[in-house]
Structure 1
Amino acid sequence: MRISYKNLKRYKEIVHILIKYGFSFIVEKLNIEDIAYKIPITNPSEEIKNMSTATKIRCVIEELGPTYIKFGQLLSTRKDLFDQDIIDELSKLRDSVEPFDTDIAKAIFKNETGLDIDDIFKEFNDTPIGSASIGQVYEGKLKNNEDVIVKIQRPNIEETIKSDIEILRSIASALKDLYKDIDIDLKQIIEEFNTQLIRELDYNFEAMNAIKFKKMFEDSKEVYIPSIYSEYSTQKVLIMEKIIGIKLSDISKIRGLGWSTKNIAEIGVRSLFKQVFEYGFFHGDPHPGNIFVVSSNCISYIDFGMIGIIDSKTLSFLNHMAIAISKKNIDRVIRSLIDMNMLNSDIDTSSFRQDLLYLMHYYYDVPIEKLSISNILNEMFRFLRRYKVYIPPQLSMLAKTVITLEGTARSLDPDFSISSVAQEFIQYYYIEKLSIDKTLLRAKDSTEEVLFDIRAIPRQLKSILRNLENNNLKIKMEDVKFTSLERCIIDLATKISLSLVLAAMVVGSSLIISSQNVNQNIWIKMMAIIGFFISFIIGILLIIKIFRSQYRK
């Protein structure tokens, strides 16, 4: 594994934590034990030995710090990649770290906005109400007496994250080289994570998300979205309206006010389907801490750093899948998966069909009030993971959101049933699908697309014919890694060349030394001796190269 020595200190911290929790074999596999030679490799404590592997992984991530906690939270959405016990542990990761000094926060605020705290705020609470890996949260009151929440980004957090991402890329590359048959595209996951973090590092993205949600629910009496003060918000500072309400997690207080928790759960379900089916844009982390109950008939979302986007093609796919499953049409299910490029070409179709049929029959006859969305989705992900079915990240996030929503709804209403979700699904999907305005818009889009394709066909045919005429056909191969193959070929060619030179030198020197005239000319004899000496050196070099190659393997 290639090590960037500017991150050497961080590598040592990672090695130390891995060894502490009994993952020293990973250090050995990654070939980074040489940077940990001063760290004693000791046996883990009894407490750590008694932990499950999933718990150890969570503890390692927590000790590694903010970037890795964020990474763990992202992985907790990938039920298509990991077993449920690991997902459960990763879901426990909390984005909470030690607070930084408020004077530093004020300096960052002034540097970003060009204004002092006293220029904007009538009151500002110096004690942060929350401290996360990316930023810190304060309460304040503007000069116009409006209560607000202020998020200020941590100092130097961008440099720290970039360093950790570089290390993660190196680890992913090393693991891919070590485990050739690994089916998880670690590099893709890390790049996805990097993209998400870049957005979270820029509070302008969160501000835009909140503004879009505000517009989405501007006519709704059931969902309220806090306003953003864009004139004071920058890349590292975000000011939004403070929500006066009760956190959804404080169920006893909600019930103490006489508010119907069942009604609040139904509002949550309706709001999610409005986000998904009307806008294809949904809150990606709707856990109880990110939702406030404003009144008996109104909830409010906060924290818009993580959002999900789902397109019409994916929604159509979900609808076709639901219809196919309801009719137990296995062939249609498989065709839908193929259309979305989710099935591997080398899949055992016979076993896949058989197991899918069993899974569908298992849940099909269960009374709807007995069904659990979480159980169904978790079982489905286990099945898809077994057959290495690729799940688009947007579907993974949507599944996690639905599971989180169901868990929250059941805590509010013990009698919550999948039937209510199904009814909302049917209502929203088919109202949108059969809407005259939406139907006309889809027809217009389809017509424009067809006309565009028709206009493009002659130009494409002309281009193909020109390339055929000029014998200018090219085959482009992507996503194929030839680095290791190239290295092996070069190594093999070097060994063969050395072997041929060695053989030629030995044969040539032997012919010279066996000549009858060798004793008549001292230079001929010296040439033979020099030839044997060079053969000896080449032989030693060849042996060293062979042993070195084996050692590397």
Structure 2
Amino acid sequence: MRIGYKNLKRYKEIVYVLIKYGFSFVVEKLNMEGVAYKIPITNPPEEIKNMSTGEKIRRAIEELGPTYIKLGQILSTRKDLLDQDIIDELSKLRDNVEEFDTELAKSIFKSEIGLDIDKVFKNFNDKPIGAASIGQVYEASLDSGEEVIIKIQRPNIESIIKSDLEILKSMAIALKDFKKDIDIDLIQIVEEFQTQLMRELDYNFEALNAMKFRKIFAKSDDVYIPEVYEKYTTKRILVMEKIIGVKLSDVNKIKKLGWDTKAISEIGVRSLLKQVFEHGFFHADPHPGNIFILSQKTISYIDFGMIGIVDKKSLNLLNEIAIALVEKNVDRIIYILMEMDVVNTEVDMSAIRQDLLYLIHYYYDVPLEKISITDILNEVFRFLRKYKISIPAQLLTLAKTIITLEGTGRELNPDFSLSSMGHEFMKYYYVNKFNPQRVFMSSKHIAEEMLLDIKTIPKQMRVILRNIEKNNIKMQIEDVKFVSLEEKITDLTTQISLSLVLASIVVGSSLIIASPNINNNVWIRLTAFSGFFISFIIGLLLVIKIIRSQYRKK
């Protein structure tokens, strides 16, 4: 593995942590012994030896810092890749970082906005209310009296993260052969992680998400989205309206206020369905800390750094799978998965069929109130891992969001179940599917596509005909049947060639014999008889070849 000099210190820190938690085999796999030569490779202490693999990974990630904590948090949603015990440990990862100096935060604000923080805000609380791996959060109020929160990005965090990403990429490339053992595409994971993390480093991205959600719920009484103050928002600064309410995680306070927790959980479900089915754009991290309760009739989302996007085609395929599940039509499910191009052709299809039958019949007759969405999805993810079925990332994000929402719903309402969520799902889906306006728009889109095809097909035909006229058409045909055709053509040309040679020798020899000088020269007679002899041999070979060809046909 090639090690850049500028990252040498960081490489040493990584090697030290890996060796400490018993992952020295990774150091060997990465060929990083040169970095590790000053670090004694000893057996881990008994405390670490007694940890599970998942706990060792979590503790190592916590020591490696913000970038790796973020990676661990993202991997905790990838149930299609990792076993549940590792997922459980990674789910415990939290942004547990030290606060940075407020004066430094103020200087960052001034460099971004061009004004002192005290001149922009009437009141500014020097004590941060939260410190995360990427930024720090403060409370303040504008001259107009509106209360706001301010996110200020950590100093040099972008360069630190970019350096860590560079190291992670090098490690993923060095470990690409390791895929044979763990069957995970590490390079792809790092690239996806890089894309997501670079978005989180740009607060403009979060601001745009918040504004889009505010537009989605503009006319809703159920959900309130805080306002973004664009004037004071940049890549490293985000200023948003402060939400005053009760965090959904504070269940005891909600109950003391006498609010109907069941009604609140139903609002959460309806709001997710609205995001998914009407807009294909949803809040991908609805955990209790990111939802405030304003009243028993209204909730509010905060933190829009993680969002999910799902297209209509994927939603339609999911709906088809749901219908096939109800009908216990396993073959239909397999067909849909193949249509999605997510099933490896080398996989044992009969084994997939048997496992699907088991899953369906195991859960189908169980009372709905006893079924957990999380349990079902965990079973599904085990199935996906077993058969190496690669589900699109957008659907994985949706599945993770549903799992999070169920956990959040159960905190509020212990009776929250698949039944309550399923009823809302079906009602919402079919109400929207057969909504006259939606049916009209769908019909309009279909008509527009048909008109476009009618306009396009003649042009495409003209192009094809023009290319045929100019002899520009190239065809590439690969089929097993054409191998036998090639053999037949070869046999035929061989027979024709032999026949032509035979005919020419016979004719030549006959002309020589018919010559009046044949009796005058012994060599002429010998040549004529040799020609007849050769033609006899060729004729014999030709007959044998024809008989063999006929025999092969039978």
TM-score by length of 2: 0.83
Q: What secondary structure, in the 3-state scheme, does the structure 2 residue paired with 1:338 have?
A: helix
State the Cα distance separating 1:183 from its structure 2 match.
3.2
Using the TM superposition, give the Cα deviation of residue 180 of structure 1 relative to its aligned residue in structure 2, in angstroms: 4.2
1:151 alignment partner, SS class: strand
**Residue 316 of structure 2 corresponds to residue 352 of structure 1:** no
In structure 2, the residue corresponding to 1:469 is in which secondary structure? coil
1:387 is aligned to 387
User: What one-letter code is carried by the residue in structure 2 that aligns with 1:263?
Assistant: A
For residues 69 and 462 of structure 1, what CA distance do their matches in structure 2 show?
58
User: How far does residue 112 in structure 1 lie from its aligned partner after superposition?
Assistant: 0.6
Partner of 1:309: 309
- 2:344 is matched by which residue type in structure 1? N
How many residues get paired? 475
The whole-number CA distance in structure 2 between the counterparts of 1:205 and 1:60 is 30
Q: Which residue is 2:547 aligned to? A: none
Partners of 1:90 and 1:32 in 2: CA distance: 26
The residue number in structure 2 matching 1:325 is: 325
Deviation at 1:338, TM superposition (A): 1.0
Partner of 1:283: 283
Question: Alpha-carbon deviation of 1:474?
Answer: 9.1
After superposition, the C-alpha distances for 1:235-267 in whole angstroms (9 at most, x for unaligned) are: 110000111111111111111111111111111
Partner of 1:119: 119
Q: Which residue of 2 aligns with 1:18?
A: 18
Q: Deviations over 1:271-319 (max 9, x none)?
A: 1111111111111111101111111211111000000011101111111
User: Where does structure 1 lack aligned partners over 5 or more consecutive residues?
Assistant: 476-553
1:338-417 matches, within 5 Å, as 338-417=338-417
Kindly, what percent of the aligned residue pairs are identical? 67
User: Aligned letter for 1:39?
Assistant: I
- 1:436-515 pair list within 5 angstroms: 436-460=436-460, 466=467, 469-470=471-472
| CA distance, structure 2, for counterparts of residue 366 and residue 135 of structure 1 | 46
Relative to 1, partners in 2 of residues 1:220 and 1:117: Cα closer, same or farther, differing over 3 Å?
Answer: same
Using the TM superposition, name which of 463-472 and 357-366 deviates more: 463-472
Match of residue 218 from structure 1: 218
Q: Is the 8 A contact 1:176 1:182 kept in 2?
A: no
Distance in 2 between residues matched to 1:464 and 1:35, nearest whole Å? 61
CA 462–178 in structure 1, closer or farther in 2 if over 3 Å, else same = farther
CA contact (8 A) 2:134 2:153 kept: yes
Aligned partners of 1:320 and 1:267: how far apart in 2?
A: 26
Find the counterpart in structure 1 of residue 77 from structure 2. 77
Name the structure 2 match of 1:248.
248
1:185 equivalent in structure 2: 185
Q: For residue 182 of structure 1, report the CA deviation from its aligned partner.
A: 5.1
Q: Write the mapping of 1:148-227 to structure 2, written as runs, cut at 5 A.
A: 148-180=148-180, 183-227=183-227
Q: Deviations over 1:360-393 (max 9, x none)?
A: 0000110111111111111111111101111111
Q: What SS does structure 1 have at the residue aligned with 2:151?
A: strand
CA, structure 1 residues 420+2, in 2 after alignment: closer, same or farther (shift >3 Å)?
same
- Letter matched to residue 237 of structure 1: I
Could you tell me how far apart the structure 1 residues matched to 2:179 and 2:301 are? 42
Contact 2:247 2:291 in 1 (8 A): yes
Unaligned 5+ segments in structure 2 are: 478-554
Worse-superposed segment, 34-43 or 178-187: 178-187
Max radius of gyration: which structure?
2
Report what 1:479 is aligned to: none
Q: Secondary structure at the match of 1:214?
A: helix
Match of 1:55?
55
Distance in 2 (alpha carbons) for counterparts of 1:12 and 1:455 = 64
SS at match of 2:399: helix
Describe how 1:87-106 pairs up with structure 2 within 5 A: 87-106=87-106
- Between the aligned partners of 2:230 and 2:237, the Cα distance in structure 1 is 10
Q: Secondary structure of the residue that 1:431 maps to in structure 2? A: helix
Give me the whole-angstrom Cα distance separating, in 1, the residues matched to 2:20 and 2:387.
34
Q: Which residue of 2 aligns with 1:293?
A: 293
How far apart in 1 are the matches of 2:295 and 2:81? 40
Contact 1:78 1:393 in 2 (8 A): no
1:473, CA displacement in angstroms?
7.1
